[in-house]
A and B are shown apart, each in its own frame.
Chain A
Amino acid sequence: MDSSDEALDIIVTNVVATFRTRCHLNLRTIALEGTNVIYKPEVGKVLMKLRKPKITASIWSSGKIICTGATSEDEAKLGARRLARCLQKLGFKVRFSAFRVVNVLAVCSMPFGVHLIDFTKNNRPIASYEPELHPAATYRIKHLKATIQVFSTGSITVTGPNVQNVATAVEQVYPLLFECQKPLCK
């Protein structure tokens, strides 16, 4: 899929997913009867951390749950189901519905450095670079809904709604980065 000879390693580091349990949850019960839970009554949510797929879930009393920390979409789903099972055991009539992966974060490293100022100049409105605020240049692809942050060392972080989009985004941005590359003398 890559245009160059070596394949670029796109490592997915975080997957965020949400689902609903379709029933009201009593946060105090969960907080008192679960292990690895943090209860935040001021905000109104419970943080529950699972070990097996390493996942942190924010549980609201309305029944909406957000799972973060998974490293793949399948893992996120597995973790979410585990969580739902856990809540079921606590006694709530949990139904697993509306599971949706919301955000995927991946990192990738280019074998060359990138000249950020040239890169921003070439891609004017889509890319923006503000060194006073953030060391990376931000490139937003609207139709993919993906955001790419490019650092001068050549490593990039990509966020998008699913893994496929992220891969496509990397492919799209690669030739642009290749133009403004700065060969790193290793």
Chain B
Amino acid sequence: MKSCKNCGSSEIDVDASRGNAVCMSCGSVLEDNIIVSEVEFVETGGGGSLAVGQFVSAEGGAKLPSFGDSHFTGVGKESRAQTLQRAKQHINTLGHQLQMSQHCLDTAFNFYKMALTKHLTRGRRSAHVIAACIYLVCRTEGTPHMLLDLSDLLQVNVFVLGKTFLVLARELCINAPAIDPCLYIPRFAQLLEFGEKNHEVSMTAMRLVQRMKRDWMHTGRRPAGLCGAALLVAARLHDFRRTIKEIISIVKVCEATLRKRLVEFEDTPTSQLTIEEFMKVDLDQECDPPCFTAGLKKIKAQQLEMELRKKIDEVSDEIQEYQDEIDAELENSRPKLRGIYAAYTRDVPNSDMLSSSSKSADGEELEDNDELQAVAKHFGRDLEELTLEALIKLEQKRPEEEEEEEEDVPRRKGPSLESILGPMPSSATLGLRESINTCTEKENDGAADSGELDLSGIDDSEIELYLLNDKEVKIKTALWMAENSDYLKEQKEKEAKIAKEKELGIYKERKPRGPSRRRPPIRASTADEAIEKMLEQKKISSKINYDVLKDLDVKPGSSPARKVESPKKEPTAAKLTRRNRMPARTPLSLSTPLSSLGKRLKPFISGQPNKKQAVEQASNPLPVAVGAPGGESVVVESGPVMYDDGAAEEEDEDEEEVCVSAMELMGGNDYGFDGDDDGF
């Protein structure tokens, strides 16, 4: 610190009382808050004495007093300090809203620091991370704060917070002990205002919760729900009337949950005890978790259903028999139908069967048309049955037996097969083919990667079912168009917009989620063209008078032109390591507006005269730069690029008065980027 960084002079005045170190030649403050080991006292008005010095906070990141141009020193350590400071502020705000002690908040801040060093804050909302840190403290300390409280304050989904919390706990290797519902009881009891009996009610509620634990009601449930139920019962036990609604508003569960817990508790044997018994006796028997008993009940119900169904089947079979017998007899009275029936029959055995039945059955005269229709309908049904039977016969290959069998037997087969085949009429034939195919299908993989589709096991005709024919396609198209007309309109508008923009030449291809890319380098034959094109692209800054800028371009011909060429090639070709830090993605070019360049470069704004200086200085490194674009290291770049920017800004700000540029003050040549970090 023996020489001033700005002017290089070694005349530095150190003032212990103010804690400053000031350069005597340029006047810049080099140090502030100097820590000294001696203690001095000064006299205050009235005879008292004050210790000399300033209080410096123990934690880093205390606000540095702005001395001159310190506001662009947000790099490196300072930014980390700023982050920590901001986090501390948020933690304290949140913590005070939850009425947490300072000790807890400090611990939370420590957690945050740990998370920061492990880069866990990246990609997560800071609010989430802070909430997770606070909740972590709550868990380790055992305070009765729920994740729900935090999410209420932040208006964030509880599960999102929970995810962040779990990640944090895992990465920081912090074992958060499981939540005990007993923790919440005092808190809720307080809110329920039991007055003097608060303690008693709490104790009763705690006993209830413990009993619930033993009865396996608490695993997998929100502790708040259990507390709510326990408190409700405890309140009633002590003659306090607390409605469910009151409890819900405090405990933050819904009515259904509370009722369910009460019902579950009711199912346990403990609920049968009287109040006194409950206080004294602890039943040994433990219950199963309620969901398990519910599961068992379900299984039993299902089994019952199965049995019932079987019985119904049998009964319905019998009913069917009787029905068919009656119908057969009815049919006998209609000779006409027989004729029709003969036309419908396909198999001889069928007609034989029915003729036999007709012989056996008694003839009854049918008179009403309704009855005839009913019979015909039933015949239709019967016909179906019979055709199904025909199919079955083909498959089962038992035609002879069918003939011999009584009326009843094939009929009995009818309904049961119908019940199987009825709902899925087509799968019968397909089922057969499937089984055949699975037998023949051996190869599975092999052809997969080559891209060819292995067609074994795939039934083409079935696939055809999945495709609509032309007529259906038309109908569906019409329907779909009608449905999605809004969406289609939007798409058309979008396209029209894009087309317009293309014509105007302003078209920017906007990917919804793509990262912002650097603009491609402008291809131009002369520097003037390049400048013009760039100006066309980037008319952003309001502080730049582009007209004047254009005039300037024409004037000193070579110099700005040459300056422009090199930065054009180099920023895009080679990597700008240091430059990248600054205004994130915009390549430093002639028209980068001042605002986007950041505060660091503002002081380099200067008037005209410096342009010549810059030109001279630029011209030296320029030939080198032009000769080896992109291949050179950062050193070569820094020169021309930096200067050119300075020159650019000079041109922009030509309205300003001629003043001595900062570059001159600082002595242009030993111009390192690092030096600027401290912001001079």
User: Which A residues form the contact surface with B (CB < 8 A)?
Assistant: 22, 31-36, 39, 41-42, 50, 52, 74, 77-78, 81-82, 84-86, 88-90, 94-99, 113, 115-117, 120-121, 124-125, 128-133, 135-136, 151-154, 182, 184-186
What A residues does B224 contact at CB under 8 A?
A: 132
What B residues does A135 contact at CB under 8 A?
A: 219-221
What B residues does A136 contact at CB under 8 A?
A: 220
Contact of B453 among A36, A94, A121, A132 (CB under 8 A): A94
Which single residue of chain A is at the shortest CB-CB distance from B163?
Answer: A133
Contact of B179 among A35, A78, A124, A132 (CB under 8 A): A132
Q: What CA separation (Å) do A182 and B453 show in the bound complex?
A: 52
Question: Contact: A133 with B162, CB < 8 Å?
Answer: yes
Interface size on B, residues (CB 8 A): 55
Question: Contact: B292 with A132, CB < 8 Å?
Answer: no
Question: Contact: A113 with B178, CB < 8 Å?
Answer: no
Question: Contact: A132 with B289, CB < 8 Å?
Answer: no
Question: Contact: B220 with A86, CB < 8 Å?
Answer: no
Question: Contact: B162 with A84, CB < 8 Å?
Answer: no
Task: Give per-residue flags for B470-487: 1 if the beta carbon is below 8 A from chain A beta carbons, else 0.
Answer: 000100110010001001
Question: Contact: A131 with B179, CB < 8 Å?
Answer: yes
| Distance (whole angstroms) from the CB of A83 to the closest CB of chain B | 9
Closest 9 CB pairs of A and B: A135-B220, A95-B451, A152-B219, A153-B292, A133-B162, A96-B453, A97-B451, A85-B458, A152-B220
Q: What CA separation (Å) do A152 and B220 show in the bound complex?
A: 7
Question: Contact: A186 with B148, CB < 8 Å?
Answer: no
What A residues does B473 contact at CB under 8 A?
A: 32-33
| Distance (whole angstroms) from the CB of B62 to the closest CB of chain A | 37
Which single residue of chain A is at the shortest CB-CB distance from B453?
Answer: A96
* B42-50, B108-116, B393-401, B459-467: which lies at the interface: B459-467
What A residues does B292 contact at CB under 8 A?
A: 113, 152-154, 184
What B residues does A50 contact at CB under 8 A?
A: 466
Task: Give per-residue flags for B202-227: 1 if the beta carbon is below 8 A from chain A beta carbons, else 0.
Answer: 00000000000000101111111000
What B residues does A125 contact at CB under 8 A?
A: 170, 173, 175
Name B264-298 residues within 8 Å CB distance of A. 286-289, 291-292, 295-296
Name B446-464 residues within 8 Å CB distance of A. 447-455, 457-458, 460, 462-464
Question: Contact: B178 with A132, CB < 8 Å?
Answer: no
Question: Contact: A31 with B223, CB < 8 Å?
Answer: no
Which single residue of chain A is at the shortest CB-CB distance from B449?
Answer: A97
| Distance (whole angstroms) from the CB of B315 to the closest CB of chain A | 32
What B residues does A86 contact at CB under 8 A?
A: 463, 466-467
Contact of A186 among B159, B296, B476 (CB under 8 A): B296
What B residues does A185 contact at CB under 8 A?
A: 286-288
A90, A124, A128, A132, most chain B CB atoms within 10 A: A132
Contact of B289 among A42, A81, A95, A113 (CB under 8 A): A113
Q: What CA separation (Å) do A22 and B466 show in the bound complex?
A: 22
